[in-house]
Amino acid sequence: MPELSQEDLDGIYAFAVQLGKDAGRLLLDAARLRCSDDREPEQDHVEKANAVDLVTQTDEGEETYSKGTSRDYLIDDEPTWCVDPLDGTVNYIHLFPMFCISIGFIVNSVPTIGIIYAPFLSQLFTACRGRGAFLRTHDGPPQPLPLVRHPVPPMPAKAPSGCVFSCEWDKDRRDRPDSNMHRKVESFVNMAAEVGGRDGKGGMVHGVRSLGSATLDLAYAAMGAFDIWWEGGCWEWDVAAGICILQEAGGLVTTANSPDDPSTAPIEDVRLGSRLYLAIRPAGPLEMETGRQGQERTVREMWRRVRQLDYSRPGA
Amino acid sequence: MPELSQEDLDGIYAFAVQLGKDAGRLLLDAARLRCSDDREPEQDHVEKANAVDLVTQTDEGEETYSKGTSRDYLIDDEPTWCVDPLDGTVNYIHLFPMFCISIGFIVNSVPTIGIIYAPFLSQLFTACRGRGAFLRTHDGPPQPLPLVRHPVPPMPAKAPSGCVFSCEWDKDRRDRPDSNMHRKVESFVNMAAEVGGRDGKGGMVHGVRSLGSATLDLAYAAMGAFDIWWEGGCWEWDVAAGICILQEAGGLVTTANSPDDPSTAPIEDVRLGSRLYLAIRPAGPLEMETGRQGQERTVREMWRRVRQLDYSRPGA
């Protein structure tokens, strides 16, 4: 397959933005119908299928990779769509606004275009590799991400203290002694506890947030609203668009699980299908430290405080 | 003091709505300035003071009760304003959209008018006792709460299973064995764990959410988006407006701590200054059970699963 030109990418980017808007409007219309006087109950069950149809109808020559078709990792070096037509399904069912469309386009295994649209919030996040990341809301022009950028704030000197920490409880709630749920909770408590607590692992983060949408967690990290997101268990359609947007904004995404030597191991970009993610927001320099150094310092402080998570996948 | 007439209340309601909008716009303007090219750093530190000034300037004969003036409980039978000019301060600092203005007006110790405005989300929640609760967004007419109301969904038959559970980690992060942080986390895990887990306390909730704003937790319960909110430690200015809005929408607010006999004790409305809150969303009937009975059933199932929290206050 020949290389995609920048002109090709620009065309695909514009198409993906419009697709995200259209799919979001469909979700919003269906949600509004549930609030109206003349709703028909059976409508509730077809709306997600409709959104899936809309995005899968866009398969025009590229390989389409959409939620639910397989749990094998299917992405190779070919240009590939990686789409979640509804991230935050539980939120959507309950009409809590934190749900969105996520559209990723991956080239040579790199998330290259990312679109996240949260229609209830009128927030549209977009990025194309090399062109920056942006937030559009209903009433204004595209704003570059992160939002605060003159200058971009550094990572706090005592991170994770001072950070907003975002994490999710997940659907795996097994109560075995060493289950992922208990490993996660132990890690959350380490992050929250006072400095000096938890045998030195206390992180005293500024706040702990759980939205129920991995996709929006990444979008808010790109915005600069969340400093750290740590998660295991979600899939590439949950994160492909968000990784592109966060990286284009200047953020870092690596693995949730600490390597054997957390204080010196090189910090590599996450493998898209790994199901283990640690994201750090865009950061500016702090005295002698570059922004990247501040992000890496934060990654190492995180790895020191969190448990290894145990998620695997077929064929991996 | 003479009784307030309905006409008096309507006038105060209209005034409070306008005040909320004005204060929200001030917060939004200050936030936008932080994102602009020509910001002046010292601006960051005066914006909250400005918002406080705006609301305290409204003290025109009524006793004003605003955040930070005292930790004594000052509300008596006189008509009283109870205002938080910025709930979700950490979110606001980080520009995460979950922050708001909260304006409560209390008569005979009952939250009688409630205004919650989240300017980044363009969500304005309002209620006046006897007149219902409403949500206004930027692009539409007032929508009555809860949003889904034809019919209002019942509480799930196996609640808390199937419920979205909202809770906050709070600022008290002491790592003592029986600290409030550990009591909370133990309760969160009970709510999250599989049915049958945690020695029968497993709640298998549909989702666990933490927004960092008690005020918006209550607003989303009124909307129907959160089924259950359980919290200790926040103050009356965090909840006065939200309690009014939730109650007017048909929700229930009682105490977070179980009485001695959780299965038979009468379920009483919360005391505003108690710092212990358990809120249940508006609910419709389920077979032979009324909506209120479904809410009370959910309260008793909650009390069975959560630890007693230890919050007190001067003079209480």
Domain boundary among A94, A116, A144: A144
Label each residue of A150-166 as H, E or C: CCCCECCCCCCCCCEEE
Minimum CA–CA partner of A193 in chain B: B173
Q: Is A173 on the interface with B (CB under 8 A)?
A: yes
Asked if the peptide bond before residue B262 counts as cis, ω within 30 degrees of 0, the response is: no
Domain-located, residue A210: yes
Domain-located, residue B287: yes
pLDDT confidence bin for A39, thresholds 50/70/90: low
> What share of chain B has pLDDT > 90, as a percent?
79
Q: Compare B282 and A35 and report the one with higher pLDDT.
A: B282
Residue B282 carries which side chain, given as an amino acid letter?
P
pLDDT for the residue numbered A1: 56
Please tell me whether residues A127 and A175 are part of one structural domain. Answer: no
Give me the residue label for tokens 């409508």. A43
pLDDT for the residue numbered B63: 43
Record: contact B173-A192, CB cut-off 8 A: yes
Q: Is B169 on the interface with A (CB under 8 A)?
A: yes
Record: contact A198-B175, CB cut-off 8 A: yes
Q: Is A38 annotated as a binding residue?
A: no
- If one counts the domains in chain B, the total is 2
Q: Is A147 on the interface with B (CB under 8 A)?
A: yes
Residues near A275 by Cβ (< 8 Å), separated by ≥ 6?
Answer: A232, A233, A234, A235, A311, A312, A313
Q: Is A183 on the interface with B (CB under 8 A)?
A: no
Flag whether pLDDT at B67 surpasses 90: no
Span A78-91, average pLDDT: 93
Please tell me whether residues B124 and B188 are part of one structural domain. Answer: no
CA-based Rg of chain B, rounded to a whole angstrom? 19
Q: Compare B50 and A203 and report the one with higher pLDDT.
A: A203
- Report residue A14 as tokens: 């514009």
Residues of A in contact with B198 (CB under 8 A): 175
A167 touches A230 (CB < 8 A): yes
Q: What is the mean pLDDT of chain B?
A: 89
Question: Which of A214, A22, A20 has its CA nearest to residue A126?
Answer: A20
Enumerate residues 218 to 247 of chain B having a beta carbon within 8 A of any beta carbon in chain A: 220, 223-227
pLDDT for the residue numbered A68: 55
Residues near B7 by Cβ (< 8 Å), separated by ≥ 6?
Answer: none
Record: contact A225-B95, CB cut-off 8 A: yes
Q: Among A48-52, A149-153, A195-199, B16-20, which is the least confidently predicted range?
A: A48-52
Minimum CA–CA partner of B184 in chain A: A189
Question: Which of B114, B122, B197, B113 has its CA nearest to residue B160?
Answer: B197
Domain-located, residue A194: yes
Rounded Cα gap, residues A100 and A135, in angstroms: 14
> What share of chain B has pLDDT > 70, as a percent?
87
- List, as one string, the DSSP characters of chain B: -PPPPHHHHHHHHHHHHHHHHHHHHHHHHHHHHHHSTT--GGGGGTHHHHHHHHHHTT-SSSEEEETTS-SS----SS-EEEEEEEE-HHHHHHT-S--EEEEEEEETTEEEEEEEEEGGGTEEEEEETTS-EEEE-TTS--EESSS--TTPPBPPTTTTTT-EEE----S-----TT-HHHHHHHHHHHHHSPTTTGGGT----SEEEB-S-HHHHHHHHHHTS-SEEEEES--HHHHHHHHHHHHHHT-EEE-SS--SSTTTS--PPPPTTSSEEEEE---B-BTTB-HHHHHHHHHHHHHHHSPPP----TT-
pLDDT confidence bin for A73, thresholds 50/70/90: confident
Flag whether pLDDT at A131 surpasses 70: yes
Q: Among A54-68, A87-101, A103-117, B126-140, which is the least confidently predicted range?
A: A54-68
Q: Among A39-53, A147-161, B109-123, B124-138, which is the least confidently predicted range?
A: A39-53
Domain-located, residue A78: yes
Record: contact B208-A210, CB cut-off 8 A: yes
Flag whether pLDDT at A61 surpasses 80: no
Residues of B in contact with A193 (CB under 8 A): 173, 175, 181
Burial profile A9-46: b = 16 or more Cβ within 10 angstroms, e = fewer:
beebbebbbebbbebbebbeebbeebbeeeeeeeeeee
Q: Is A166 on the interface with B (CB under 8 A)?
A: no
Span B291-303, average pLDDT: 98
Q: Is A174 on the interface with B (CB under 8 A)?
A: yes
How many angstroms away from the CA of A199 is the closest CA of chain B? 10
Domain hosting residue A249, numbered range: 164-305
Residue A200 carries which side chain, given as an amino acid letter?
G
Please tell me whether residues B276 and B169 are part of one structural domain. Answer: yes
pLDDT for the residue numbered B47: 47
Please tell me whether residues B18 and B61 are part of one structural domain. Answer: yes
- Report residue B60 as tokens: 């025109």
pLDDT for the residue numbered B39: 55
Q: Is B284 on the interface with A (CB under 8 A)?
A: no
pLDDT for the residue numbered A58: 40
How many angstroms away from the CA of B14 is the closest CA of chain A? 26
Alpha-carbon distances of B86 from B47, B103, B147, rounded to whole Å: 10, 10, 25
Domain boundary among A144, A175, A194: A144
pLDDT confidence bin for B200, thresholds 50/70/90: very high
CA-based Rg of chain A, rounded to a whole angstrom? 19
pLDDT confidence bin for A32, thresholds 50/70/90: confident
Please tell me whether residues A296 and A226 are part of one structural domain. Answer: yes
Give me the residue label for tokens 């405080």. A305
Q: What is the mean pLDDT of chain A?
A: 89
Flag whether pLDDT at B125 surpasses 90: yes
Residues near A109 by Cβ (< 8 Å), separated by ≥ 6?
Answer: A75, A76, A77, A272
Alpha-carbon distances of B238 from A291, B89, B119, B125, rounded to whole Å: 36, 12, 17, 14
- List, as one string, the DSSP characters of B240-256: HHHHHHHHHHT-EEE-S
Record: contact A173-B197, CB cut-off 8 A: yes
Flag whether pLDDT at B141 surpasses 80: yes
Domain-located, residue A156: no
ipTM of predicted assembly, 2 dp: 0.92
pLDDT confidence bin for B65, thresholds 50/70/90: low
Record: contact B94-A227, CB cut-off 8 A: yes
Q: Smallest Cβ distance to B206: which of A90, A149, A197?
A: A90
C-beta atoms surrounding A196 within 10 Å: 11
Please tell me whether residues B176 and B282 are part of one structural domain. Answer: yes
CATH of the domain at B73: 3.30.540.10
Please tell me whether residues A116 and A225 are part of one structural domain. Answer: no
Q: Report the SS3 class of residue A127.
A: strand
Give me the residue label for tokens 């809860």. B146
Residue B89 carries which side chain, given as an amino acid letter?
T
- Report residue A161 as tokens: 């203290």
Q: Is A87 annotated as a binding residue?
A: yes
Q: Is B28 on the interface with A (CB under 8 A)?
A: no
pLDDT for the residue numbered B69: 57
Span A80-85, average pLDDT: 93
Flag whether pLDDT at A149 surpasses 60: yes
Please tell me whether residues B105 and B178 are part of one structural domain. Answer: no
Which residue out of B148, B175, B180 would a mutagenesis test of the A interface target, given it has the greatest number of A Cβ atoms within 10 Å?
A: B175
Domain-located, residue B82: yes
Q: Smallest Cβ distance to B181: which of A175, A181, A193?
A: A193
Domain-located, residue B49: yes
Q: Is A169 on the interface with B (CB under 8 A)?
A: yes
Minimum CA–CA partner of B186 in chain A: A185
pLDDT for the residue numbered B35: 85
How many angstroms away from the CA of A121 is the closest CA of chain B? 6
Minimum CA–CA partner of A188 in chain B: B185
Flag whether pLDDT at B287 surpasses 60: yes
Minimum CA–CA partner of A88 in chain B: B207
DSSP A3: P
Q: Is A203 on the interface with B (CB under 8 A)?
A: no
Rounded Cα gap, residues B277 and B171, in angstroms: 17
Please tell me whether residues A204 and A122 are part of one structural domain. Answer: no
How many angstroms away from the CA of A33 is the closest CA of chain B? 9
Domain-located, residue A76: yes
Flag whether pLDDT at A51 surpasses 70: no
Flag whether pLDDT at B56 surpasses 50: no
pLDDT for the residue numbered B68: 55
DSSP A124: E
CATH of the domain at B228: 3.40.190.80
Phi-psi region of B56 (alpha: psi -120 to 50; beta: other; left: phi over 0): alpha
Record: contact B173-A193, CB cut-off 8 A: yes
Which residue out of B25, B33, B96 would a mutagenesis test of the A interface target, given it has the greatest number of A Cβ atoms within 10 Å?
A: B96
Q: Smallest Cβ distance to A90: which of B204, B207, B210?
A: B207
How many angstroms away from the CA of A191 is the closest CA of chain B? 10
Span A130-148, average pLDDT: 92
How many angstroms away from the CA of B3 is the closest CA of chain A? 37
Question: Which of A173, A199, A79 has its CA nearest to residue B198?
Answer: A173
Record: contact B211-A209, CB cut-off 8 A: yes
Domain boundary among A144, A177, A195: A144
pLDDT for the residue numbered A12: 97
Record: contact B148-A35, CB cut-off 8 A: yes
Q: Compare A100 and B70 and report the one with higher pLDDT.
A: A100
Please tell me whether residues A139 and A220 are part of one structural domain. Answer: no
C-beta atoms surrounding B138 within 10 Å: 12
Enumerate residues 48 to 107 of chain B having a beta carbon within 8 A of any beta carbon in chain A: 90-91, 94-97
Please tell me whether residues A179 and A115 are part of one structural domain. Answer: no
Q: Report the SS3 class of residue A265.
A: coil
Q: Report the SS3 class of residue A63.
A: strand
How many angstroms away from the CA of B93 is the closest CA of chain A? 9
Q: What is the tens place of the pLDDT at every residue in A212-228?
A: 999 999 999 999 999 99
Q: What is the tens place of the pLDDT at every residue in A269-302?
A: 999 999 999 999 999 999 999 999 999 999 999 9
Please tell me whether residues A176 and A249 are part of one structural domain. Answer: yes
Flag whether pLDDT at B224 surpasses 90: yes
Flag whether pLDDT at A46 surpasses 80: no
pLDDT for the residue numbered B62: 40
Record: contact B185-A181, CB cut-off 8 A: no
Q: Is B208 on the interface with A (CB under 8 A)?
A: yes
